[in-house]
Amino acid sequence: MDDLKVKALKQAILDLPVELQQELAEELLPLLLTTRAGIKGIDQVLQTLSDEELDVLVERGRSRAKDLPEESVAAVIGEALRAVRAKSRS
């Protein structure tokens, strides 16, 4: 049942005009990134990056996310980095 709701919501979003899609993404993306699924997705992407690429990504995220509280940015980046480093050590 939840899967159907998610698919319907996704389609409703895709049916919106591009401007509204953009506004919705700007408002919801920061919230979604702090969820368990968001962190997991970030973790999967970060596993493929070198340390240098991770450093660039962190700085880019901080410079672009000036409207987000620093605590939110730090929490998302920190959790993702900890997960990647924990996996690389095992």
pLDDT tens for residues 2-52?
889 989 999 999 999 999 999 998 888 888 877 888 888 878 887 888 889
Write the CA distances from 60 to 35, 46, 50, 66, integer angstroms. Answer: 21, 14, 15, 11
Could you tell me if 53 and 15 lie in one domain? no
H/E run at residue 10: helix 2-14
Q: Are 39 and 25 part of one and the same domain?
A: no
Q: What's phi and psi for 50, nearest 5 deg? A: -75, 170
- Model confidence band, residue 84 (pLDDT cutoffs 50, 70, 90): low
Residues 15 and 42 in one domain: no
Domain count along the chain: 2
Other C-beta atoms lying within 10 Å of the C-beta of residue 68: 17
- Do 24 and 9 lie in a common domain? yes
Residue 67 phi, psi dihedral angles, 5° rounding? -85, -10
Average of pLDDT values for 52-68? 78
Q: Residues 50-63: what's their mean pLDDT?
A: 82
Same domain, 50 and 17: no
Q: Which domain holds residue 21?
A: 1-29
Residues 87 and 71 in one domain: yes
- Give the containing element (helix H, strand E) for 20: helix 18-33
